[in-house]
Amino acid sequence: MEPIQSATGALSASPVISATGLTKRYGALHVLRGVDLDAHEGEVISILGASGSGKSTFLRCLNLLEVPSGGTLNVLGEDVRFRMKGAERQIADARQVNRLRSQVGMVFQNFCLWSHRTVLQNVMEGPVHVQGRNRHEVREEAEKALDRVGLLNRADYYPSQLSGGQQQRVAIARAIVMRPRVLLFDEPTSALDPELVGEVLKVMQDLAAEGRTMLIVTHEMAFARDVSSRVVFLEKGTVRVQGTPQDLFKGGMDERFDRFVSHFSRQG
Amino acid sequence: MDWPFLFATAKTLLTGVPLTLRLAATSLCAGFALAVGIAALAGSRFAPARWLAALYVMLFQGTPLLVQIFIVYYGFGQIDFLRASFAWPFLQQAYWCAILALSLNTSAYGAEIIRGAVAAVPPREIEAARAMGMSGLLLRRRIIWPQALQYGLANYGNEAILLLKATSLASVITLMDVTGLAYRLVSKTYRSEEIFTVAGLIYLALTFVIATGVHLLERRLTPCRRV
């Protein structure tokens, strides 16, 4: 595969995340059948696919919420170490995984804010307790992040007092105060009421414009087309086709992808 | 109604309140410590540890507390190695026998409450913490235990109330708690209706205080559910 030009215009030497031949199976069920993907600095990659195509599983493998059954995974220049226990592959070095996870931000479909902590506490939790940074500095940065997602005035609210869109924006603020090298989004707008989708996509678009490296599993075709630098289409656990959104959405590159897109625009 | 007699009875029975409270408080603390251990076994990855915890809970939940008190008080004295052990000076005293039986009994129920409370913490919130690089003690201290405390507090408050009332059984092994004093007074005066009513009112007052305390604590600890 030829190197992909990043959004900032520079060709980065080594990918931020590199997966080679990644497989995942649950018993007899093969969810991933060998996925290759390199994500370079500054790329915004939309991962599309029908449900069951393995796109969420793939994303979750990248920060080891799922342990890939086979293949190699390199995150931030480190090969993730595995060991075999019987027929199952396990994480070999939990500290390595924790270290990598603290530099890979994750935003979930269901926000997953900690319900017993306020908005501000949610955002400060990681930097203070995982990264051990100074509480006062973190507080300033957390307030800046909340301001950025438009929720500084909700800093002392609890998650249950916020709308879904607001919760998801807090979750994004929680991810970025960790100063991650890459952000993973797992269907960040799929659990939202239609009128709340826009506010979350707006924040994500801002982050993309900053030159952040992002991998986004999504069903938002317009977002994938207009914001991402690369689109990856998964089908049955493999990469069916990938390319720039311009090339792919023009049509005619892959019949299955075209049908997938037209299906969504019909619904849309 | 014989008010002077009722007041005299109340005055006598109230002298048993410190013992009742000591039995309840000591057993609650010791029982909680045990319960944490049992709950940890119950949540272990090691299957025999889980079986052991299940057996323990089954034994203490499946037999009457009174029988457990009798086994400790009458039964342990017949076991030679216990009589020879360091524990014997304690087990000779009805007070410590009652504490032991009450603690073991409440710990079985407590372990179930703790297990349920930890299981009630939303797995997604735990996953979000893991995705950020938390694990082990940090994950438990910051995310799991604070939430489990919120979920389990009301149930544990209930258990504390049950335990306070259960201390009355200690009177059958000679302890002069509120119930013990009431029983002695009845055997002197034969005015069982009035005396046990006064005893009941004293327990009612104590449980009311505990229930209110737990409720206040709950309000303090769960601001997120007070929207």
Domain total in chain B:
1
Chain A within 8 Å of B220 (Cβ-Cβ)? no
Residue A9: predicted pLDDT: 45
Residues 57-86 on A with a CB inside 8 Å of B are: 63, 65
Q: Check: pTM over 0.90? Answer yes or no.
A: no
Give the Cα separation of B52 and B65 in Å (integer): 20
Residue B222: predicted pLDDT: 82
Chain A within 8 Å of B64 (Cβ-Cβ)? no
What is the CATH classification number for the domain harbouring B213? 1.10.3720.10
Chain B within 8 Å of A244 (Cβ-Cβ)? no
Nearest to A161 among B122, B147, B227 (CB): B227
Q: Which helix (H) or strand (E) holds A39?
A: strand A29-39
Give the Cα separation of A190 and B196 in Å (integer): 63
Task: Summarize the confidence of residues A70-95 as an average pLDDT.
Answer: 94
Chain B within 8 Å of A116 (Cβ-Cβ)? yes
Task: Name the residue with higher pLDDT: B85 or A176.
Answer: A176
Q: Is residue A5 predicted with pLDDT exceeding 60?
A: no
Residue A267: predicted pLDDT: 56
Is B125 close to A108, i.e. CB distance below 8 A?
no
Residue B136: predicted pLDDT: 93
Q: How confident is the model at residue A268 (pLDDT cuts 50, 70, 90)?
A: very low
Is A98 close to B133, i.e. CB distance below 8 A?
yes
Task: Summarize the confidence of residues A114-140 as an average pLDDT.
Answer: 96
Exposure string of B133-169, with b = 16+ CB inside 10 Å and e = fewer, is bbbeeebbebbbbebbbbbbbebbbebbbebbebbbb
Chain B CB contacts of A125 under 8 Å are 132, 142
Give the Cα separation of A160 and B223 in Å (integer): 11
Q: Is residue A7 predicted with pLDDT exceeding 50?
A: no
Task: Summarize the confidence of residues A148-157 as an average pLDDT.
Answer: 96
Among A114, A120, A168, the residue to mutate for chain B (most B Cβ within 10 A): A114
pLDDT along chain B (227 residues), means of 10: 93 97 98 97 95 97 97 91 87 94 98 96 96 96 95 95 97 96 96 96 97 93 70
Residues 126-145 on B with a CB inside 8 Å of A are: 127-135, 138, 142-143
Q: Is residue A236 predicted with pLDDT exceeding 50?
A: yes
Give the SS3 label for residue A35.
Answer: strand
Residue B226: predicted pLDDT: 58
Is A160 close to B225, i.e. CB distance below 8 A?
yes
Task: Name the residue with higher pLDDT: A220 or A265.
Answer: A220
Instruction: Name the residue range of residue B62's domain.
Output: 3-225
Q: Is residue A1 predicted with pLDDT exceeding 50?
A: no
Distance from CA of A83 to the nearest CA of B (A): 19
Nearest CA-CA partner of B138 in B147, B151, B129: B129
User: What are A189's two structure tokens?
Assistant: 């707008």
Chain B CB contacts of A94 under 8 Å are 135
Give the Cα separation of A253 and A251 in Å (integer): 6
Domains belonging to chain A, first-starting first, are 1-103+184-268 (3.40.50.300), 111-179 (no CATH)
Chain B CB contacts of A109 under 8 Å are none
Give the Cα separation of B70 and A52 in Å (integer): 61
Give the Cα separation of B90 and B75 in Å (integer): 14
Q: How confident is the model at residue A2 (pLDDT cuts 50, 70, 90)?
A: very low
Tell me: the pLDDT tens digits for A179-190? 999 999 999 999
Give the Cα separation of B102 and B35 in Å (integer): 12
Is A113 close to B124, i.e. CB distance below 8 A?
no
Side chain identity at residue A266, one-letter code: R
Is A158 close to B122, i.e. CB distance below 8 A?
no
Residue B225: predicted pLDDT: 67
Chain B within 8 Å of A159 (Cβ-Cβ)? yes
Residue A13: predicted pLDDT: 66
Residues 145-174 on B with a CB inside 8 Å of A are: 146-147, 150
| Mean pLDDT, chain A, whole residue set | 92
User: What are A264's two structure tokens?
Assistant: 């969504």
Exposure string of A15-43, with b = 16+ CB inside 10 Å and e = fewer, is bbbbbeebbbeeeeeebbeebebbbbbbb
Q: Is residue A130 predicted with pLDDT exceeding 70?
A: yes
